[in-house]
Structure 1
Amino acid sequence: MNLDKQYYSISEVASLFKVNTSKLRYWETQFPHLLPKRTGKGIRKYTPVDIEKIAILVDLIDNQGLTIEGAKLAIKKNGSPKNPNQVVIDQLLDIRQFLQVISEGLN
């Protein structure tokens, strides 16, 4: 993702991720760490850091199929991961540990 500007409008960000602007507005209400700057007239201006946060949400919710609550838990557990794939790796490690406990219980 080539982000060469300092600020992006909500429509530019929505277009970048192929989502509706209403989804971005809703996510702002659900994820306190997503808080774009606003102009004096209340117009949202997203920074490249905001766009990275949105990329994580798109991956967790739209690509991985997590619910809003599931995405909140994943972010809470892992912080704001730089690499969204780390969420999947951590989930797989949790599953592996769970299966090992079950296996030991069968023996």
Structure 2
Amino acid sequence: MENGGKLYYGIKEVAEMFDINASKLRYYEKEFPTLQPKKNRSGDRVYTQDDINHLKEILVLINDKGYTLPGAREYIKTRDANRREHVVYINKLKRIKAGLEKLRASLDKQKPQEVQPKQDDDEPEEVL
């Protein structure tokens, strides 16, 4: 749901996008701690594209997939925890990869010893 390059949207604009009223948006802010639009100097809520995408995800869980509010909240919480855990594993794997690349580079720098084959091994044995 990309919209014309705007950085911020007012609560009425967002409510119209989803065909819900502004009070429902404020209610979802209370129910979902992950949905926290910023407020401008005059105290009005301003939604970023990320806020709108997150709201869309919440509405899909509730309206399309049949989640209850607590169920949707738990789903998002679990998903976010899994993402954080995956980031930890990805970072560990990146460090391992960097170490292996460093090891490979150091091995590539070493000049391999010339291996001379034995004269005996090159000639087949005669069978009588």
Return the TM-score normalized by structure 2: 0.59
3-state secondary structure, aligned to 1:79: helix
Q: Given residue 79 of structure 1, which amino acid in structure 2 is its aligned partner? A: D
- Answering whether residue 2 of structure 2 is matched by residue 6 of structure 1, we say no
Q: What is the CA distance between 1:63 and its match in structure 2?
A: 1.6
Match of residue 65 from structure 2: 64
Q: Given residue 44 of structure 2, which amino acid in structure 1 is its aligned partner? A: I
* 1:7-45 deviation line (CA, Å, top 9, x unaligned): 001111111111111111001111111111101221000
Distance in 2 (alpha carbons) for counterparts of 1:53 and 1:2: 13
Q: How many residues align?
A: 80
Structure 1 runs, 4 residues or longer, greater than 4 Å off: none
Where structure 1 has 5 or more consecutive residues not aligned to the other structure, the ranges are 81-107
Where structure 2 has 5 or more consecutive residues not aligned to the other structure, the ranges are 82-128
Distance in 2 (alpha carbons) for counterparts of 1:58 and 1:19: 10
Match of residue 47 from structure 1: 48
Distance in 1 (alpha carbons) for counterparts of 2:57 and 2:44: 23
Q: Given residue 29 of structure 2, which amino acid in structure 1 is its aligned partner? A: E
Q: Given residue 75 of structure 2, which amino acid in structure 1 is its aligned partner? A: A
Distance in 2 (alpha carbons) for counterparts of 1:65 and 1:18: 18
Q: What is the CA distance between 1:71 and its match in structure 2?
A: 0.3
Distance in 2 (alpha carbons) for counterparts of 1:68 and 1:37: 22
Q: What is the CA distance between 1:2 and its match in structure 2?
A: 2.2
Distance in 2 (alpha carbons) for counterparts of 1:64 and 1:44: 28
Match of residue 124 from structure 2: none
* 1:31-64 deviation line (CA, Å, top 9, x unaligned): 1111111012210000001001101001001221
Structure-to-structure mapping, 1:67-78, within 5 angstroms: 67-78=68-79
% same residue: 44
